[in-house]
Amino acid sequence: MAAVTNLEDSNSPDTVAAAPRAGKSAPTIYDIAEMAGVNPSTVSRALSKPGRVSAKTQKLIEDAAATLNYRVNVFARALPTGRTHTVGLIVSDITNPAYFDVIRGAEAAAAGEDYTLMLAESAESAAQELTTAQRMLATVDGIILASPRLADPEILALAKEKPVAVINRQVDGVHSIVADIDAGVGEAVRHLALMGHTSLAYVAGPEKSWMSARRWESLKARCAWSGLDAVQVAAGAPTVEGGRRTAAAVRASGATAVFCYNDLMAIGLMQELQLAGVVVPDKISILGFDNIFGSDFTTPPLSTIRSPLREAGAEALARILADLKGAGSDGAAEPLPTELVLRGSTGRVS
């Protein structure tokens, strides 16, 4: 488990000063109370309940707090309130660059609201995801699950404890942030059809991945509509290595264009195919999903369907904060847009 802390605190990098008080311990609201000549509870209110005390006392207390360089003790605050100003984010695989943007987006949104992000990974394991989530439950105010491998009931159980938002998944009763993959897939299929492809294939990701199934359905539907063939030819771990392993099945399928569950797999597949002498895109076109870091390093650079991951992260965090603030959780927002990023791994059928 790891956390991304934000840094709204504009405390001066005070070189020295440390503790104006003799003792080394940090100043408390009692110190402030004494200095301002009021009761500790008044200090507490001044600092956390805006408007509860008079402007005059407020100023008095804020000044005292400033000169003492006071910072709340988050543990002391969390003990009675249960609130930690922290939101957890669990990703299925931290080495998947696709999560960069999710993390960045959530982090930025958190920082803006004076919240801290706690990051953890589940190593593509549903069991680990569950234990991690339950461990987190004790120390965070809400949880974001990015591409969860958990089953719906488990997610709902978590949501009963604390606000939960899922990314790349649709779970009824839980904030679900999903990209409108139909848009990107539609664009891609149209493009491939134009290039003369008639037989498309899909390489699936993990079987527990809701998004993998969703992508396949979208592709299938679109192909049916366009009168193209579409088959799912393989599945595997959503990694470069996983993609490599599907090469044989893909070749055997005879398809001239193949969609992969994500860019990582697409890259692995392309590498393996090229190793076997298959020219991309002349012999076969390859498409990924996500547009991750490095997807343009390959030769040819990978064509892919871009998802607004950063926005997804920010949106997930915003939903949780809204829940926390008691604001009535609004309905499902409209899905985020996706778009086709055309590079060199797709081309005219030979």
* Amino acid letter, 79: L
- Contact of residue 7 among DNA, a copy of itself, none (CB under 5-8 Å per partner type): a copy of itself
Q: Does 88 bind a copy of itself (CB under 8 A)?
A: yes
285 and 347 in contact (C-beta within 8 Å)? yes
State whether residue 44 is helix, strand or coil.
Answer: helix
| C-alpha 281, offset from chain centre | 31
Region 64-83 residues binding a copy of itself, contact defined as CB under 8 A: 71, 73-76, 78-79, 82
CA distances from 236 to 215, 241, 267, 346 (A): 15, 9, 13, 22
205 and 235 in contact (C-beta within 8 Å)? yes
Region 9-68 residues binding a copy of itself, contact defined as CB under 8 A: 9-13, 15-23, 26
Q: Does 54 bind DNA (CB under 7 A)?
A: yes
Nearest C-alpha neighbor of 262 from the set 245, 242, 281, 232: 242
d(CA 301, CA 266): 11
Q: Does 156 bind a copy of itself (CB under 8 A)?
A: yes
Q: Does 137 bind DNA (CB under 7 A)?
A: no
Q: How far apart are the first and last CA of the chain?
A: 49
Site mask, DNA, residues 66-105, x = CB under 7 A? ----x-xx--xx-xxx------------------------
Site mask, DNA, residues 9-38, x = CB under 7 A? ----------------xxxxxx-------x
Complex with a copy of itself: residue 107 or 272, whichever CB lies closer: 107
Report the nearest approach of DNA to the CB of residue 45 (Å). 5
In this chain, which of 8, 18, 41, 139 binds DNA, going by CB under 7 A?
A: 41
Region 134-153 residues binding a copy of itself, contact defined as CB under 8 A: 134-136, 138-139, 142
Complex with a copy of itself: residue 75 or 194, whichever CB lies closer: 75
Q: Which residue has the tokens 């005219």?
A: 348
CA distances from 46 to 42, 80, 137, 186 (A): 6, 18, 29, 55
Q: Does 277 bind DNA (CB under 7 A)?
A: no
Complex with DNA: residue 327 or 333, whichever CB lies closer: 327
| C-alpha 64, offset from chain centre | 40
Strand order of the β-sheet with 116-121 is 2-4, 116-121, 86-91, 142-146, 164-167, 175-177
Alpha helices (H) in 113-161, listed in sequence order: 126-137, 152-161
Q: Does 47 bind DNA (CB under 7 A)?
A: yes
In this chain, which of 13, 51, 227, 326 binds DNA, going by CB under 7 A?
A: 51
Q: Does 138 bind DNA (CB under 7 A)?
A: no
Q: Does 104 bind a copy of itself (CB under 8 A)?
A: yes
Which residues contact DNA (rule: CB under 7 A)?
A: 25-30, 38-42, 44-45, 47-49, 51-57, 70, 72-73, 76-77, 79-81
